[in-house]
A and B are shown apart, each in its own frame.
Chain A
Amino acid sequence: MAEQPLLRVDHLGVRYAASHAAALEDVSLSLMKGERLALIGESGSGKSTFARAIAHLLPPGAARSGDITWLALEAPPEAGRDLAFVLQDPSASLDPVMTIGEQVAEGAVAHLGLSWGEAYAHAATLLARVQLPEPEHLLKAYPHQLSGGQRQRVAIAAALAAGPSILIADEVTSALDRIVEAEIVALLDGLVRDEAMTLIFITHDIALAAKLADRISVFADGRLVEDAPAAQLLARPQAEATQRLLSAHMDLSTPSLLREVP
Chain B
Amino acid sequence: MREPLLIAKDLCRTWSTQGRRVEALRHVSVSVEAGETLGLVGPSGCGKSTLARVLTRLVPPDAGTIRFRDADWLSLSGHRLRAERRFMQMVFQDPVGAFNPRATVSGAIADPLRVHELAGSKDQLLRVGELLERVGLSPDLASRPIRDLSGGQRQRVALARAIACQPQLLILDEAVSALDLAVRRTILELLVDLQRETGMAMIFIAHDLAAVKAVSHRIAVMEAGEIVETGPAETLVAAPQSVTARALVAAVPRLPSV
* Chain A residues in the interface with B (C-beta under 8 A): 42-43, 147-149, 176-182, 204-208, 210-211, 231, 234-235, 244-254, 256-258, 260-261
Can you pick out 23 interface pairs between chain A and chain B where the beta carbons lie within 8 Å of each other? A42-B183, A147-B45, A149-B44, A177-B44, A177-B208, A178-B208, A178-B251, A181-B251, A207-B253, A207-B254, A210-B256, A211-B253, A231-B256, A234-B255, A244-B182, A249-B255, A250-B214, A252-B210, A254-B214, A257-B189, A258-B215, A258-B216, A260-B192
Interface size range of chain B in the complex: 35 or more
A-contact 0/1 string along B76-101, CB 8 Å cutoff: 00000000000000000000000000
Q: Chain B residues with Cβ under 8 A from A260's Cβ?
A: 192
* Known interface pairs A245-B182, A251-B252, A257-B214; 7 further A-B residue pairs with C-beta atoms within 8 A, sorted by A's residue number: A43-B150, A43-B151, A149-B44, A182-B250, A234-B256, A250-B214, A257-B188
The listed residue (A148, A248, A256) touching B184 by CB distance below 8 A is A248
Q: Chain A residues with Cβ under 8 A from B209's Cβ?
A: 178, 252
On whether the beta carbons of B181 and A251 are closer than 8 Å, the reply is: no
On whether the beta carbons of A148 and B44 are closer than 8 Å, the reply is: yes
Asked if B43 CB lies within 8 Å of chain A CBs, one says yes
Q: Chain A residues with Cβ under 8 A from B255's Cβ?
A: 206-207, 210, 234, 246, 249, 251
On whether the beta carbons of A205 and B189 are closer than 8 Å, the reply is: no
| CB-nearest residue of chain B to A208 | B253
Q: Which of B20-55 contact A (CB under 8 A)?
A: 37, 43-45
Cα distance, A250 to B185, chains bound together (Å): 8
The listed residue (B44, B183, B189, B251) touching A182 by CB distance below 8 A is B251
Given contacts A211-B253, A258-B217, contact A251 B192 (CB under 8 A): no
Q: Chain A residues with Cβ under 8 A from B249's Cβ?
A: 252
The listed residue (A147, A182, A249) touching B181 by CB distance below 8 A is A249
| CB-nearest residue of chain A to B217 | A258
Cα distance, A251 to B37, chains bound together (Å): 19
On whether the beta carbons of A254 and B210 are closer than 8 Å, the reply is: yes
Least distance between A87 CB and chain B CB atoms (Å): 16
Q: Chain B residues with Cβ under 8 A from A207's Cβ?
A: 253-255
Least distance between A148 CB and chain B CB atoms (Å): 6
Q: Which of B200-258 contact A (CB under 8 A)?
A: 207-211, 213-217, 233-234, 237, 247-256, 258
| CB-nearest residue of chain A to B152 | A43
Asked if B180 CB lies within 8 Å of chain A CBs, one says yes
Top-5 shortest CB links A-B:
A207-B253, A177-B207, A248-B182, A235-B258, A178-B251
Given contacts A148-B44, A258-B217, contact A250 B211 (CB under 8 A): yes
Q: Chain A residues with Cβ under 8 A from B151's Cβ?
A: 43
Q: Chain B residues with Cβ under 8 A from A244's Cβ?
A: 182
Q: Which of A182, A205, A250 has the most CB of B within 10 A?
A: A250
Q: Chain A residues with Cβ under 8 A from B250's Cβ?
A: 182
On whether the beta carbons of A204 and B256 are closer than 8 Å, the reply is: no
On whether the beta carbons of B181 and A250 are closer than 8 Å, the reply is: yes
On whether the beta carbons of A251 and B248 are closer than 8 Å, the reply is: no
| CB-nearest residue of chain A to B258 | A235
Given contacts A43-B151, A43-B180, A257-B188, contact A251 B253 (CB under 8 A): yes
Q: Chain B residues with Cβ under 8 A from A178's Cβ?
A: 207-209, 248, 251-253
On whether the beta carbons of B217 and A205 are closer than 8 Å, the reply is: no
| CB-nearest residue of chain A to B45 | A147
Cα distance, A181 to B214, chains bound together (Å): 20
Cα distance, A231 to B207, chains bound together (Å): 28
On whether the beta carbons of A252 and B217 are closer than 8 Å, the reply is: no
Q: Chain A residues with Cβ under 8 A from B185's Cβ?
A: 248, 250
Q: Chain B residues with Cβ under 8 A from A177's Cβ?
A: 43-44, 207-208
Q: Chain A residues with Cβ under 8 A from B210's Cβ?
A: 250-252, 254
Cα distance, A149 to B45, chains bound together (Å): 11
Cα distance, A261 to B233, chains bound together (Å): 17
Q: Chain A residues with Cβ under 8 A from B252's Cβ?
A: 178, 251-252
The listed residue (A43, A148, A205, A248) touching B253 by CB distance below 8 A is A205
Cα distance, A252 to B249, chains bound together (Å): 8
Q: Chain B residues with Cβ under 8 A from A258's Cβ?
A: 37, 192, 215-217
Q: Chain B residues with Cβ under 8 A from A180's Cβ?
A: 43-44
Least distance between B240 CB and chain A CB atoms (Å): 10
On whether the beta carbons of B207 and A256 are closer than 8 Å, the reply is: no
| CB-nearest residue of chain B to A212 | B253
| CB-nearest residue of chain A to B237 | A252
On whether the beta carbons of B251 and A256 are closer than 8 Å, the reply is: no
